[in-house]
Structure formats: structure tokens, C-alpha cells
Amino acid sequence: MKHILRAGLGVMALVVCVAAAPITGAAEGELIVDGTDYGGQSGCIDLGPNAPRKFKNNSDRLVTIYMNTHCVGAASGILSARGSGTYTGSSMLRS
């Protein structure tokens, strides 16, 4: 009986730990481009016409800036987590 109780408590502890684990997918921290906060958005984000923009990446994710829409073609800049800079682009990919 003691072994069954211990096993049951062990399984319950594992379930609680898994349920409390953070869900991946949403980026942690803000991503600000020319004063607009893109929050926890991930994936390709179109920014409008190709132009120089100020980026402030307060998130834990890498951001790649593209000259073309839909995050295609060569990258015009790569912004590391917690980095900032000015890059020319019309879309960005937050991975």
C-alpha cells in the first residue's frame, strides 16, 4: 500500500510540474519598431513600405529584418535578443 501511495504522489507531482511549465511559442518581452510595440508576436511581421526604422528588441528572440515584404530575400539586418539598432526594411521575422 505504501508503494502505491508513493507512486501516486510521484505521478501527481509530475503532472503539476508539467502543467506549470511555460508554454513556448509566444516571445517574452516587447519588440518596439519606430515606437510601435509588437508585443509577443512571433513569425513574419510586415512593417509597410521599405524604410529605415529604429528597432528595440527587449525580447528573448532573434529578429531578422528584410528589405522585402513577407520576410523573403536577403536580410538587411539581424537583431539579437535585448539588442537595438536602425535598419532598413519592410518586414521582420521574430524567431
Q: Where are the domains of the chain?
A: 25-94
Task: Pick 37 or 39 by higher pLDDT.
Answer: 37
Examine the pLDDT at 23 and tell me if it is beyond 80. Answer: no
Does domain 25-94 bear CATH number 1.10.10?
Answer: no
- E strand spans, the chain: 31-33, 36-37, 43-57, 63-66, 75-79, 84-94
Q: What is the pLDDT of residue 20?
A: 38
Task: Pick 21 or 76 by higher pLDDT.
Answer: 76
Examine the pLDDT at 25 and tell me if it is beyond 60. Answer: no
Reduce the DSSP state of residue 47 to 3 states and report it: strand
Examine the pLDDT at 63 and tell me if it is beyond 80. Answer: yes
